[in-house]
Structure 1
C-alpha cells in the first residue's frame, strides 16, 4: 500500500502547478515543481504540506489578498480530500495579519477539505475574536462551515495542539454545541459528539449537565449524546448510564461461558460466548461490553473496551451472545506475546473474567 504522504507527490504537484498557471499566467510551473519536490522523499505527510505552502508563497504575488484570490480560483479545479488542506495551511502561515480576509478564506476553503487545523492558529493568536466568528458559523447554511465551528474548537483535536482555554472553561464552546445539538448532517453530528467526548475527559460533570438539558427524544440529539459520552459509558460512569435509563442495580447471572481457545496466535480469531440470565423481578435495560487487557512490552496490561449489545431483559429472560475477534497488528498498535485478560462488562460492572495467552 502506498504511504499516505505520497498524496503530496509528483502527480499532485503537476495538477496543482497547471491549475495555478491557468488562473495566474506569470506562475512558473516548472520551477515550482522542481523546488517543491526537491528532497521531498525525506519529508512526512504534513511536512510536505507545509513545504508546499512555503514554496507556493514564494511563487505567488507578494500581495496576500491577491495570492488568496488566486488560491480561491485554484481549489475548485482539484479533487478535494486531504491535499486541499494545503489551502487553509497557507492561510494559517501567511494570513494572521489579515484577520477578516483570512477567516473568510477559511470558511470558503473548508468546503473542499477542512480548515479545522488552520483555524486553531487564529484561536491561538486572538481567541475571543475567532471564537465569536465560530459561533456565527455554527448557524451557517453550509454544513461544512457548521462542522468547522465544532471541529475547529475541539479542546483535544487529534493531530493538533490542545485549546487550554476550552479545557479550563468548557462552557466557552457551549453556544456552538447548543446550535448543533440536533443538526441534520451526520458529518456535523459526528464532530459535535467528538467535541463532547473531548470535554468529558477533563470535565465530565459539565458534559452531563449540558446533555441532561437536551431533548433526547429527538433522534439526532440522542445519537450525539450517546456517542458524545461514550468514554464515560465505557468507564462505567453511573451518571452517564442513568441518562439512557441503564440499570444501576443490575441483577443477572452469566451462564454457559465458553472460550474456544486459551492460546491465540497472530491472525487467529478469539471466539467466546455466554448467556445472560435476568435475575430481577422487573425489566432491566442492559449495556453489554467486553474489555481486553492487552499485554504491553513494559509488562503491564492496557485495557480497551469494545461494544457488544444493548438489550432489555424481562424477568428470567435469557439472551445469548457470541463474539469473534481477530488478533492482528494495526499501524497504530502492535500486539505483544503474553498473558491477556478478557472481561465481560454489564452496565459498567465486570461480571466475568477469563485469562488467555497471546503468542506471535
Structure 2
C-alpha cells in the first residue's frame, strides 16, 4: 500500500500504529471541516480505544465508527467523501478506513448505480492511499461488473488508478480478502494485465508482474501463454516484467517458464551448501556457499536460487526461496555461489529457534540440504 506525498502519519513503532489516535483525530477534523453538521461521537470514542489493537482491527474499528456516525446510505457517504477529498488534512493512512466505509455503503445499497459510483470513488481515493483492500468486497459482490470498470482504469492518466486495476484484482493479494471467483476464473483479468505490462510507470509494471506471478499458483499454462505473447510484443521493460512474473515457476523448475527466460542446461549438478557455522545466534547471520556444475555437453544459462527452511511455531519447517544469481556455464564449467543470510528481527517474520535447513537450486535442480541450528 502506497501513500502519495509525505507520510506525516508514519509510525515510530510498529505498523499497528499507522492508525493511531492522532490520525483518527485529524480524520475527524477533516470531516467536520466539510460537514459541520456531523457530530461524530463514535469516531471520537474509537480514538481512545486503539491501544493493543492490530492494524487491520484498527481500520475496521474506524470504519464501523464512520458507519455509525454518518447515516443515510451511499448518497450521503458519497457526498461527504467527495467533499473531504479536497480537504488538505485528509491524507495518509486515515484514507484506508474511509475506503472501507465507501465499499460497505456501496454494497449495502444494492443499486448498480451506487456500485459503479462506489468504484469511481475508490479510484479517486486511491490517488491518496491505495484502495486495493476495500475494492475486494466489491469484487466479491459483483466480480464481472467490477472487472468491467477496472479494465477502463488501465487507460487512466493517473498511475495509482492504473495500479489499482492490476493490484486490486490479484488472485492472492497479500493481507487482503480472497475473491474465490478470481481464483476460479484465472483468465478473467488477462485484459487488465495485457494492457499494463508495458505501462510507462515501474510502479504499475511491478504490480502487473506480481499479478502474473499470482496466476501461476492456479494456472501455470495460462501464465506461460501470456508471457510468450508479451515476449513477442515487448518493449525495453518487458524482460524484467517477465522475470518477476515468472519467478515462482522458475523456482518450481517449470520448463516452459525457464525456456521463455532463456535458461538452459540439462546436465546441472548442485553441491550441498557449505556453511560458515552449524549454530547461529539469535539475530545473527549464516553464510553459505555451493558449487554449480554444468555436466552437460552444451552451454547453460542458469538461474540460481536458495531456500531457507524456517522453523515455525509448531516446530514444522516452512521454506522460503530467495534469488541468488545467474550464471553462464560452459560444458564442464563450475561456479561457486554464496550468500550471507541475516536473522535480524523483521516485522514480516518471526524467527523461532531450532533446526533450520538451506538448499541451493539451479534451474530448479535442488542441492542436498545443509542443516544449522538457530539459537533462542
Is TM-score (shorter-chain normalized) higher than 0.5?
yes
Is the CA contact (8 Å cut-off) linking 1:183 and 1:220 kept in structure 2? no
Q: TM-score normalized by structure 2?
A: 0.85
Q: 1:41 aligns with which of 17, 39, 51?
A: 51
Q: What secondary structure, in the 3-state scheme, does the structure 1 residue paired with 2:361 have?
A: strand
Equivalent residue number for residue 246 of structure 1: 263
Q: How far is 1:42 from its partner?
A: 5.3
Q: 2:350 aligns with which of 334, 352, 356?
A: 334
Equivalent residue number for residue 12 of structure 1: 23
Q: 1:178 aligns with which of 169, 181, 194?
A: 194
Query: CA 1:268 to 1:28, structure 2 compared with 1: closer, same or farther past 3 Å?
Result: same
Equivalent residue number for residue 4 of structure 2: none
CA distance in 2: counterparts of 1:276 and 1:48, whole angstroms: 49
* Segment drifting more, 216-225 vs 136-145: 216-225
Query: CA 1:317 to 1:131, structure 2 compared with 1: closer, same or farther past 3 Å?
Result: same
Is the CA contact (8 Å cut-off) linking 2:294 and 2:331 kept in structure 1? yes
Q: What secondary structure, in the 3-state scheme, does the structure 1 residue paired with 2:187 have?
A: helix
Q: 1:312 aligns with which of 328, 343, 348?
A: 328
For residues 73-112 of structure 1, give each alpha carbon's deviation from its aligned partner in whole angstroms, at most 9, with x where no partner exists. Answer: 3235236333311221111111222123212211111111
Equivalent residue number for residue 205 of structure 1: 221
Query: CA 1:297 to 1:10, structure 2 compared with 1: closer, same or farther past 3 Å?
Result: closer
CA distance in 2: counterparts of 1:45 and 1:68, whole angstroms: 25
Is the CA contact (8 Å cut-off) linking 1:155 and 1:195 kept in structure 2? yes
Q: How far is 1:38 from its partner?
A: 4.4
CA distance in 1: counterparts of 2:76 and 2:237, whole angstroms: 42
Q: What secondary structure, in the 3-state scheme, does the structure 2 residue paired with 1:182 have?
A: coil
Equivalent residue number for residue 160 of structure 2: 144
Q: How far is 1:296 from its partner?
A: 4.1
For residues 260-311 of structure 1, give each alpha carbon's deviation from its aligned partner in whole angstroms, at most 9, with x where no partner exists. Answer: 2122221222112345454455432111111222344545433221211012
Equivalent residue number for residue 111 of structure 1: 127
CA distance in 1: counterparts of 2:249 and 2:97, whole angstroms: 36
Query: CA 1:53 to 1:253, structure 2 compared with 1: closer, same or farther past 3 Å?
Result: closer
Equivalent residue number for residue 245 of structure 2: 228
Q: What secondary structure, in the 3-state scheme, does the structure 2 residue paired with 1:290 have?
A: strand
For residues 318-342 of structure 1, give each alpha carbon's deviation from its aligned partner in whole angstroms, at most 9, with x where no partner exists. Answer: 5443321122344443333333322
Equivalent residue number for residue 299 of structure 2: 283
Is the CA contact (8 Å cut-off) linking 2:306 and 2:323 kept in structure 1? yes
Over the aligned positions, Cα root-mean-square deviation in angstroms equals: 2.6
CA distance in 2: counterparts of 1:63 and 1:350, whole angstroms: 57
* Segment drifting more, 239-248 vs 268-277: 268-277
CA distance in 2: counterparts of 1:61 and 1:354, whole angstroms: 61
Query: CA 1:50 to 1:75, structure 2 compared with 1: closer, same or farther past 3 Å?
Result: farther
CA distance in 2: counterparts of 1:339 and 1:125, whole angstroms: 45
CA distance in 2: counterparts of 1:283 and 1:270, whole angstroms: 32
Equivalent residue number for residue 104 of structure 2: 93
Query: CA 1:185 to 1:83, structure 2 compared with 1: closer, same or farther past 3 Å?
Result: same
**2:72 equivalent to 1:62:** yes
**2:19 equivalent to 1:3:** no
For residues 180-209 of structure 1, give each alpha carbon's deviation from its aligned partner in whole angstroms, at most 9, with x where no partner exists. Answer: 121111221121112112111111111111
* Segment drifting more, 36-45 vs 8-17: 36-45
Is the CA contact (8 Å cut-off) linking 1:292 and 1:343 kept in structure 2? yes
Query: CA 1:279 to 1:100, structure 2 compared with 1: closer, same or farther past 3 Å?
Result: closer
Q: How far is 1:64 from its partner?
A: 3.6
Paired residues, number: 358
CA distance in 1: counterparts of 2:56 and 2:317, whole angstroms: 33
Q: How far is 1:44 from its partner?
A: 3.0
Q: TM-score normalized by structure 1?
A: 0.89
Q: How far is 1:228 from its partner?
A: 1.3
Is the CA contact (8 Å cut-off) linking 1:193 and 1:224 kept in structure 2? yes
Structure 1's unaligned 5+ residue stretches are: none
Is the CA contact (8 Å cut-off) linking 1:340 and 1:358 kept in structure 2? yes
